[in-house]
Amino acid sequence: MKWYTAIGIKTEDDEGRLLVKIGGQEKVLTEIEAMLWAALTWSVCEENRIYSQMYRVLCITFGEEKATEWADEEDFLFCLRRLKKRGLVAECDGASKEEALWFLLSKSVVSPARDSFFERLGAFADDLALGKGLKIALRAFKSPVLTYEERMVLQQIAGNGYVPYHLAELTRQAGAVPLSVEERKNVQNQALQKFMQILVSLFKKKQFVISCIKEGGLLEEKEEMENVAV
């Protein structure tokens, strides 16, 4: 099963046009691309549901006639392919949304979400425009409650957003515990799972954005560090 999510940091040029910053580059999006990208930000959507979800949003925002004119399925798929090719949307396989998000984050560079009043106001307006309803849109003005562990992980990724680094460091630290090989691997796995669970929770609470994807990630870093530990 394929899943999709938006990549990059939202910004604007001097003329107020939406730009997405990724890998040190700022990329301009068309209006439909911008709506699709915004709909997939902080969301992981199954491949066969993206079009119906976006079409519903367009109908709510512009009316059915305009929505049909703007985005028939072929045009929509073209926009999705273009966003994927430009690195603005990531595709990931997974048996579930959680599994896909776990794997995707394990090879990501992330950045804490900026939190100014005007950005919250913009998020509120975006949610309304995307047809998410007033109740959901108002959440933009509420600060989510974070656990102590979530605050600590958020502080870590604020200092270094390269997730594979933190996973490798956890593996190294857990591997230094004086245990048998099997016990040490269990401790390493538990440490990695705990960190990733917290990271997924922070993503759902919109505490960071995925700046870009790096090849390698959890599987390669973990295997390398386990070999060193042995």
CA 205, 210, 213 angle in degrees (round to 5)?
Answer: 145
The reply to whether 205 falls in a domain is: yes
Q: Per the structure, how many domains does the chain have?
A: 2
The reply to whether 64 falls in a domain is: yes
Of 72, 101, 130, the residue that ends a domain is 101
Q: Which residues pair with 108 in a beta bridge?
A: 213
Please compute the mean of the pLDDT values over residues 125-150 and round it to a whole number.
72
Residue that is written with structure tokens 């068309």 in the block = 30
The reply to whether 39 falls in a domain is: yes
The reply to whether 48 falls in a domain is: yes
pLDDT above 60 (res 166): yes
The reply to whether 190 falls in a domain is: yes
**Residue 224's pLDDT band (cuts 50, 70, 90):** very low
> Which residues in 99-130 are b (16+ Cβ under 10 Å) and which e?
ebbbbbbbbbbbbebeeeeeebeebbebbbeb
Indicate whether 16 and 71 sit together in one domain: yes
The reply to whether 60 falls in a domain is: yes
Of 68, 101, 134, the residue that ends a domain is 101
Range of the domain at 223: 106-110+143-230
The reply to whether 49 falls in a domain is: yes
**Residue 64's pLDDT band (cuts 50, 70, 90):** confident
Indicate whether 147 and 90 sit together in one domain: no
Q: Which residues pair with 6 in a beta bridge?
A: 89
Closest residue by Cα to residue 40 from 74, 1, 85, 8 = 8
Let me know: does 130 contact 45? Beta carbons within 8 Å.
no
Q: What is the pTM of this model?
A: 0.77
